[in-house]
Amino acid sequence: MRPRGGGVLRADGVSLEALARRHGTPLFVYSARTVRERLDALRRAFRRREPLVCYAMKANPCRALAAVLAREGAGADIVSGGELARALRAGFDPRRTVFSGVGKTEAEMAAGLRAGLLAFNVESAEELDALARVSGRLGRVAPVSVRLNPDVNARTHPHITTGRAENKFGVETAEALRLYARAARDRRLRVVGVQCHIGSQITQAEPFRRAARALARVVARLQAQGIRLQHADIGGGLGITYKDERPLAPAALARALEETFAPWPEMRLLLEPGRYLVAEAGILLTRVLYRKKTAKRRFIVVDGAMTDLPRPALYGAWHPVEAVRTRPGPRRRADVVGPVCESGDFLARARLLPPLERGDLLAVGKAGAYGFAMSSQYNSRPRSAEVLVDGGRARLARRRETLKDLIAAER
Ligand code: LLP
């Protein structure tokens, strides 16, 4: 999203001020155009093969937004029965959908089998046994892809690194080979692929290259045993620029995959991007409630909080913050903080901001991924509304929660 225009921020031509007036704040605004552009960029990066892009629903499960990707022919990557239901509702083809996650329940497996998913990314021997049992019970054959832990350092934030040997995810190569041998003998299971996911917000090509090679070694070993895989799935993790990061270009990832899998031209290559597709498509609109100054600091208290966009509080993440209408005057350094009763409740720290007054609107950028998706009702705050802008028109994708919603499940 390029939220610019004549000194007043707009979203793809739509007035953010009008959206805030109409739907209230805090408000997430998404750009369908940006999502399409990102998907195109990713697909165009591949020269020799057409990858299957499976959108990681966890980044943003908003139906209207996900439906944009489904309509463009993307598949989905899901990690729960909830995401399965929402992926189907958004229009994703189950035959283009993979089921990841270290703790799938048998009920979730059954739902995935009934839907006819492309693959279950299996992460342990016990999970494989459970999957076989469930598919036997349903009279189905479960498509199996083992999640490999390639012990690669993705060199990203420790909370979002997943491909090291000490992480809970995936299995090491020797164990993966044992699982394939076991699956190949079982008529309730069908071996279809190999997968890994080494972390998120990765900015270098090298970890992907190493992970791809680790996957290829498994493909070769299996081939020697007469087991042929239909696909290799490198997972998600492509980083973006929040501040001054210089992430690898999708072309670098494409090259690593195409080169590594050149010996198997018939294999399909899968990706599971979340952030890359949607982060830059979203902003969080929030209104200034109060300004206050202490001996040490200047605070801008806004109506958005860590409950809406937890990334700064959780990971110390940096998101761009701009005034929707810039007032003339000197910029001052301030913390942008929310109303939640925790000192960790900030959206931005020590940021140079133009003069602001009560009621002014701020746009927190790159909030399309892991924003609303991770939002909560902590402090009994109803979750915000979401708006999708498409073709110069805005429509409400999810209404703001009400006080009634807060207690609807209570008995
Ligand atoms: N596939 C699997 C199996 C995953 O676990 C993830 C993300 C993805 C794909 C998508 O990764 P992406 O392309 O979005 O990097 N809440 C954190 C990010 C957690 C990522 C978890 N797994 C954040 O806000 O930075």
266-283 pLDDT tens trace = 999 999 999 999 999 999
Atom of ligand 1 nearest to the CA of 162: 5
Model confidence pLDDT, tens digit, residues 377-394: 999 999 999 999 999 999
- Measured CA to CA, the distance from residue 258 to residue 334 in angstroms comes to 47
DSSP-derived secondary structure letter, 248: P
Closest CA to 334 of 360, 315, 372: 360
User: What six digits make up the tokens of 112?
Assistant: 């995935």
Q: How far is CA 253 from CA 60, 71, 151, 256, in A?
A: 23, 24, 18, 5
Does ligand 1 lie within 6 Å of residue 12's CB atom? no
Which residue, 323, 349, 327, is CA-closest to 336?
A: 349
At the top level of CATH, which class does the domain 101-271 belong to? alpha beta
Query: Does 235 sit in the ligand 1 pocket, CB within 6 Å?
Result: yes
Please check whether the two domains, 2-30+279-407 and 101-271, share a CATH topology.
no
| Residue ID of nearest Cα to ligand 1 atom 23 | 370
CB of 38 within 6 A of ligand 1: the answer is: no
The rounded distance, in Å, linking the Cα atoms of 282 and 3 is 10
Residue 204 Cα to ligand 1 middle (Å)? 16
CATH number of 2-30+279-407: 2.40.37.10
- Cβ-based neighbour number of residue 185 at 10 Å: 8
% of the chain with per-residue pLDDT over 90 = 93
Q: Which are the contacts of 223, defined by CB distance < 8 A and separation ≥ 6?
A: none
CA of residue 160 to ligand 1 center, whole Å: 7
Exposed, middle or buried, 110 (CB in 10 Å: 0-12/13-18/19+)?
Answer: middle
From the list 101, 136, 97, the residue with the least C-alpha distance to 115 is 97
Read off the pLDDT band of 164 (50, 70, 90).
Answer: confident
Place of tokens 């050149």: 262
Residue 370 CB–ligand 1 contact under 6 Å: yes
> Cα 7 vs. chain centroid, distance in angstroms?
31
Euclidean distance between CA atoms 366 and 312, whole angstroms: 12
What are the C-alpha distances in Å from 31 to residues 60, 250, 312, 319, 336? 13, 21, 22, 17, 24
pLDDT at 321 over 90: yes
Question: Which of 55, 58, 80, 118 has most ligand 1 atoms within 8 Å of its beta carbon, as the pocket-test mutant?
Answer: 58
- Give the pLDDT band (50/70/90) at residue 56: very high
Determine the distance separating the centroid of ligand 1 and the alpha carbon of 96, expressed in angstroms.
Answer: 19
- Of ligand 1's listed atoms, the one at least distance from the Cα of 237 is 15
Nearest to 162 by CA among 262, 85, 274: 274
Instruction: Please give the positions annotated as active site.
Output: 341
Task: Output the six-digit token pair for 176.
Answer: 């993966």
**pLDDT band (50, 70, 90) for residue 15:** very high
Nearest-CA residue for atom 5 of ligand 1: 197
Bigger pLDDT: 57 vs 153: 57
Q: Is 43 in the pocket of ligand 1 (CB under 6 A)?
A: no
Angle, in degrees to the nearest 10, between helices 106-115 and 125-138: 50
Every domain of the chain and the residues it spans: 2-30+279-407, 101-271
pLDDT of 5 over the 50 cut: no
The rounded Å distance from CA 15 to ligand 1 centre is 31
Which among 224, 231, 139 is positioned nearest to 191, based on CA atoms? 231
**Across 175-197, average pLDDT:** 98
